[in-house]
Chain A
Amino acid sequence: MNAAPSESSEPAGPAAATLSDAARVLLIEDSPADALLISALLGDEFAVTQVPGLREGIAAAAQSGFGIVLLDLFLPDSRGLDTFAQFQALHPELPILVMSGLDDERVAASAVHDGAQDYLVKGQMDEVLLHRAVRYAIERKRVERALRDSEAFYQSLVENLPQFIFRKDRDGRFTFANRRFCTLLGRTLEEIVGRTDFDFFPAELAAKYQADDQQVMATGKIFETVEENTHPGAEKEHVQVVKTPVFDAQGKVIGTQGIFWDVTARVRGEERLKKAHADLARSREDLLRTLADLQRSHSRFKEAQLQIIEMEKMQSIGQMAAGIAHEVKNPLAIIRMGVDYFGNALPLAEDEATHTVLKDMQDALHRADGIIMGLLDFSAPGKVDLRPGELNTLLRSSLNLVKHELKSARITVATDFCENLPPALVDTNKIKQVFVNALSNAAHAMPEGGTLTVRTYIKKLTPEEAKPSPGARQTHEFRAGERVLVTEIDDTGTGIPEDKLDRVFEPFFTTKATGKGTGLGLTVSRKIVELHDGAIQLQNLAPGGARTTITLRTERN
């Protein structure tokens, strides 16, 4: 970075006037009388060296450090303004006071115009005037030099910085442009100054620049932006622009100045970075989505695995059941025939105890046969013949099948059937088996009597309800918005122990006393409901008792 101008930075040499140098005066005067007079007027304060001609004067000035030159314009070897011009050309660093006669005052004034510090008219000098003129000339030259240095400093700054710099007046006319900017526009400074943006840029762009300038002048604030320039056939360029107002000595805004530079590389870097960030964010999102998909797949996989295990269990139980059924039924057939033989062999009135024994044996046979039948139902190949059926009618006929059982247990039946239900899609006999099983279970739950409520209704499934319930083994899925037929069978019994609730559909699982249930009723029911693409669910009711909910599809599905 350039240092600010100072005395110390000035080049050393004759021009580097010290106080003692300043006191040394080179008097170039051919008239001995005038030389004597001037020396006398300067007095002891100045050391005067007098030479009679220009040539000697130029040589003397080169020899040693003078603070000032008093130059007579009319010398034997040079006359008039040319004398000054010659000397100044060779020693521009020295302050020059020109001297003239009365009749040459005009020439002297011209010398001042060309760079002499002042002029003195011979014959009109006095000591005070001369002293003041000498000192003032020295001082003024020093200030001039400082100013020139300062100017050179700032010019160097403005011209050598790798930025484009300009100034404009209030009307948007250029008052200055640095070399770089001139090169950019392909014009000389003279061609630029006095013109506006409209002379160099497309109208749209020029209007924008002027609007920016107006804003800067109106607000008096720094304006900073990154402009995007597109040149035909070239890539987009980005330019950082800073504009500030220019104030006069009174603080009034008199124009604008601006500096701009190419930041294309930086902007492209930022864009790349931004894109990289966005890509990264997207990759992260993709990754999270993939992870979520994986987790979902994993849980589905686990669910499917559990279902397969469950199904395999069921299948092997089914195969086993068929085998057992055959092997057990043959001995049962023998016992049955045997019991019948005894029953017919004994006259009725003969022995009441024997008849009781035979009756108990027949009941036991019937029970054993029932279990085996259940096993066969369970293992029977899964096929249903689905036809439209009236749900309420099926329930009424199922209730009729268990009416004796309900009556003997003093159970009150309440029905809440929704009329005008669309037909259900059912295998009549199989679904009746499900209903009878559920009704019979409800009756078994109320050995001391109670109320059995059978309810039907139609409902549109919410997305939540359409989801398979956790752990449910469903071979199909309901759709949200699907209209389904719901049957609820409520009892006021003891309910199902909460820890047993998720096992009730398992084969051979029963909460009933020995001999009261086969442990296959709900297993078979679930299988039948699944063949209907429906759902069956058991839950405890808050005030006590349990509810069996059977969801079936309507014909329209």
Chain B
Amino acid sequence: MEQKRILIIDDEESFTRMVRLNLERTKRYVVREENRALHALTTAREFKPDLILLDVIMPGTDGGEIAGRIKADPAFKGVPVIFLTATVSKREAAEGVFTAGYLFLPKPVGLKNLVESMENALATKAHEHDHVGAKAAGARAGIK
């Protein structure tokens, strides 16, 4: 089975390391950490990820800005971005938050939940490549 390339962008080095170790042990992913938000885009261009995990609040810039630039870059067309955030309330977390088409996962996220969410996003991306079910995926992501 082909390993998916996952880029995790978060200024918290211990966290990215933990995520990397957990994901790599599944043998299904190749993980690249980037702790410097300002280098995020360069690293992404170089690494060519299948999926990006992105922290929301980082020094110097924020996840939203990085996500906007990724989306605007044709090189990353169709690459899903999942936000990891520490500022989601209990109810928002329970309901699952989508903002502007992005999925937000609350920290502390469990490994099981993280992997499920990533697989869902990757599967949706595959559908989009088939030009099928784009609308369904959009609906699932809460896009109007």
Known: A325-B86, A333-B15. 8 other contacts (CB 8 A): A329-B107, A330-B107, A334-B14, A336-B107, A336-B110, A337-B19, A365-B108, A377-B89
A332 touches which of B91, B108, B111 (Cβ 8 Å): B108
Contact (Cβ within 8 A) A373 B89: yes
Contact (Cβ within 8 A) B22 A340: yes
Known pairs A329-B107, A336-B108, A365-B108; A380 contacts B18 (CB<8 A): no
Give the one of A326, A330, A429, A430 with max B CB within 10 A: A330
- Contact residues, A91-142 vs B (CB, 8 A): none
Known pairs A326-B87, A376-B88, A376-B90; A333 contacts B57 (CB<8 A): no
B119 within 8 A of A: no
A329 to chain B, nearest CB (A): 3
Contact (Cβ within 8 A) B14 A341: no
Nearest B residue (CB) for A329: B86
Total A-B pairs, Cβ < 8 A:
72
Q: Mark B93-122, 1 if CB is under 8 A from A, else 0.
A: 100000000000011111110000000000
* Bound: A83/B93 CA distance, A: 149
Known pairs A330-B86, A344-B25; A433 contacts B91 (CB<8 A): yes
Contact (Cβ within 8 A) B91 A429: yes
Contact (Cβ within 8 A) B87 A341: no
Question: Interface residues of B, CB < 8 Å — how many?
Answer: 24
B21 to chain A, nearest CB (A): 6
Known pairs A330-B12, A332-B107, A365-B108; A337 contacts B89 (CB<8 A): no
A237 within 8 A of B: no
Contact (Cβ within 8 A) B111 A333: no
A332: B residues at CB distance < 8 A: 107-108
Contact (Cβ within 8 A) B107 A333: yes
A42 within 8 A of B: no
5 examples of A-B residue contacts, CB within 8 angstroms: A333-B84, A334-B18, A340-B112, A373-B90, A380-B89
B111 touches which of A326, A344, A365, A374 (Cβ 8 Å): A344
- Contact residues, B1-27 vs A (CB, 8 A): 12, 14-15, 18-19, 21-22, 25
A211 to chain B, nearest CB (A): 93
Contact (Cβ within 8 A) B93 A341: no
B109 touches which of A322, A325, A333 (Cβ 8 Å): A333
B87 touches which of A322, A337, A365 (Cβ 8 Å): A322
The 9 closest A-B pairs by CB, nearest first: A337-B18, A329-B86, A336-B108, A373-B90, A333-B107, A340-B111, A333-B108, A332-B108, A376-B89
Nearest A residue (CB) for B56: A326
Contact (Cβ within 8 A) B90 A377: yes
B106: A residues at CB distance < 8 A: 329
Known pairs A325-B86, A329-B108, A330-B12; A338 contacts B18 (CB<8 A): yes
* Bound: A410/B57 CA distance, A: 46
* Bound: A333/B12 CA distance, A: 10
A337: B residues at CB distance < 8 A: 15, 18-19, 22, 108, 111
A341 to chain B, nearest CB (A): 5
Q: Mark A222-235, 1 if CB is under 8 A from B, else 0.
A: 00000000000000
A369 within 8 A of B: yes
B114 to chain A, nearest CB (A): 9
* Bound: A75/B112 CA distance, A: 172
Nearest B residue (CB) for A373: B90
Known pairs A326-B86, A341-B18, A341-B21; A334 contacts B12 (CB<8 A): yes
A21 to chain B, nearest CB (A): 136
* Chain A positions near chain B (C-beta within 8 angstroms): 322, 325-326, 329-330, 332-338, 340-341, 344-345, 365, 369-370, 373-374, 376-377, 380, 429-430, 433
Nearest A residue (CB) for B87: A326
B136 to chain A, nearest CB (A): 26
Nearest A residue (CB) for B14: A334
B8 to chain A, nearest CB (A): 11
* Chain B positions near chain A (C-beta within 8 angstroms): 12, 14-15, 18-19, 21-22, 25, 57, 84, 86-91, 93, 106-112
Nearest B residue (CB) for A365: B108
* Bound: A380/B91 CA distance, A: 11
B14: A residues at CB distance < 8 A: 334
Contact (Cβ within 8 A) B111 A334: no
* Bound: A341/B57 CA distance, A: 25
Nearest A residue (CB) for B84: A333
Contact (Cβ within 8 A) B90 A333: no
Known pairs A334-B18, A337-B15, A338-B18; A374 contacts B90 (CB<8 A): yes
B123 to chain A, nearest CB (A): 22
Contact (Cβ within 8 A) A325 B18: no
* Bound: A139/B90 CA distance, A: 134
* Bound: A335/B21 CA distance, A: 13
Nearest B residue (CB) for A332: B108
A429: B residues at CB distance < 8 A: 91
* Bound: A322/B18 CA distance, A: 25
A380: B residues at CB distance < 8 A: 89
Nearest B residue (CB) for A345: B25
A325: B residues at CB distance < 8 A: 86-87
B108: A residues at CB distance < 8 A: 329, 332-337, 365, 369
A524 to chain B, nearest CB (A): 10
A523 to chain B, nearest CB (A): 14
Contact (Cβ within 8 A) B110 A334: no
B37 to chain A, nearest CB (A): 14
Nearest B residue (CB) for A326: B86
A338: B residues at CB distance < 8 A: 18
B27 to chain A, nearest CB (A): 12
* Bound: A429/B25 CA distance, A: 39
A518 to chain B, nearest CB (A): 11
Contact (Cβ within 8 A) A326 B57: yes
B112: A residues at CB distance < 8 A: 340
Nearest B residue (CB) for A338: B18
A517 to chain B, nearest CB (A): 15
* Bound: A376/B88 CA distance, A: 8
A377: B residues at CB distance < 8 A: 89-91
A297 to chain B, nearest CB (A): 40
Contact (Cβ within 8 A) B93 A373: yes
Nearest B residue (CB) for A378: B89
A3 to chain B, nearest CB (A): 112
Nearest B residue (CB) for A327: B86
Nearest B residue (CB) for A368: B108
* Bound: A287/B47 CA distance, A: 84
